[in-house]
A = this chain, B = another copy of it.
């Protein structure tokens, strides 16, 4: 029996509808949440992501300002821009689209962002508060995964969750968030990685498997227990002569074989991706409410 397909697209639309309704209440009071997106260099994927984020803002009534800098932009110019955005009253959230051109120090740029406007949850102060279990901006992809599990009826509380991958943006913060004693978490979490001896043993014993290691179709049906819930965080381009442009995007999960064994599964695209953008909007709204002392 094929698995239930968890539609991140559908759930993200629900979240966006909720945000839109909250934003309209704020707008009626004269408050317009605002997001600034900094795009440096000419990476086409980065340009696409920023465009998608700006479009999502528009859908829900959040003001967005995309600031494009060309490749030659220097470190002090970017830092000055961040200072300016930190000071602007119409901007509640600041995101710097990663990766920056190689000559720029991305960590220093992130550190310059006002932690109260750090809607990507990447400033060390926010990461540190997260680790300490105190209120913080949570990084968008892990936050989206918690929402996805909860809203699709697969709350992780009391479950064994195996995360594949220990990356800075997903695996590590997600492990911390899923283990917290909170209504959308409280899971028993194991993080597997390249140093793990028998990954399949771990995944076969998990109620929920989250694949976030960036290896195309790594997780196969024989690696999970029947009925397991599988979340696919991967986006890998693979060659496929049958497709337009000779390439297509696949996740870290081998969809066909896992679909035969899992109880529920997210697709790629249309799974975690749209949830990440919904989380960014949630964080921007939260930043706006905080700045106006509305919480």
Residues of B within 8 Å of A157, CB to CB, are 195
Instruction: Known A131-B127, A181-B166; judge A187-B176 contact (CB<8 A).
Output: no
Is A262 an interface residue when CB atoms closer than 8 A count as contact? Answer: no
Which of A40-48, A67-75, A118-126, A221-229 lies at the interface?
Answer: A118-126
User: Is there contact, CB below 8 Å, between A158 and B188?
Assistant: no
Is A293 an interface residue when CB atoms closer than 8 A count as contact? Answer: no
Is A179 an interface residue when CB atoms closer than 8 A count as contact? Answer: yes
Q: How far is the CB of A146 from chain B (nearest CB, A)?
A: 15
Is A132 an interface residue when CB atoms closer than 8 A count as contact? Answer: yes
Is A220 an interface residue when CB atoms closer than 8 A count as contact? Answer: no
Instruction: Known A107-B134, A127-B127, A128-B124; judge A190-B193 contact (CB<8 A).
Output: no
User: Is there contact, CB below 8 Å, between A131 and B172?
Assistant: yes
User: Is there contact, CB below 8 Å, between A188 and B196?
Assistant: yes
The bracket for how many chain A residues form the interface is: 35 or more
User: Is there contact, CB below 8 Å, between B195 and A158?
Assistant: yes
Residues of B within 8 Å of A233, CB to CB, are none
User: Is there contact, CB below 8 Å, between A179 and B172?
Assistant: yes
Instruction: Known A125-B128, A127-B127, A127-B132; judge A166-B179 contact (CB<8 A).
Output: yes
Is A103 an interface residue when CB atoms closer than 8 A count as contact? Answer: no
Complex interface bits, A253-295 against B, C-beta within 8 A gives 1, otherwise 0: 0000000000000000000000000000000000000000000
Is A24 an interface residue when CB atoms closer than 8 A count as contact? Answer: no
Q: How far is the CB of A33 from chain B (nearest CB, A)?
A: 25
Task: Give Cα A128–Cα B125 distance, bound, in whole angstroms.
Answer: 6
Is A81 an interface residue when CB atoms closer than 8 A count as contact? Answer: no
Is A133 an interface residue when CB atoms closer than 8 A count as contact? Answer: yes
Q: How far is the CB of A51 from chain B (nearest CB, A)?
A: 27
Task: Give Cα A61–Cα B118 distance, bound, in whole angstroms.
Answer: 42
User: Is there contact, CB below 8 Å, between A197 and B158?
Assistant: yes
Is A202 an interface residue when CB atoms closer than 8 A count as contact? Answer: yes
Interface residue ranges of A120-149 to B (CB < 8 Å): 122-134
Q: How far is the CB of A132 from chain B (nearest CB, A)?
A: 5
Residues of B within 8 Å of A181, CB to CB, are 166, 193-195
Q: How far is the CB of A232 from chain B (nearest CB, A)?
A: 21
Residues of B within 8 Å of A190, CB to CB, are 188-190
Is A29 an interface residue when CB atoms closer than 8 A count as contact? Answer: no
Is A15 an interface residue when CB atoms closer than 8 A count as contact? Answer: no
Residues of B within 8 Å of A176, CB to CB, are 131, 172, 175-176
Is A91 an interface residue when CB atoms closer than 8 A count as contact? Answer: no
Partner of A193, one of B125, B128, B179: B179
The 4 closest A-B pairs by CB, nearest first: A124-B128, A127-B128, A128-B128, A186-B195
Most chain B beta-carbon neighbours within 10 Å: one of A158, A166, A186, A202: A166
User: Is there contact, CB below 8 Å, between B127 and A168?
Assistant: no
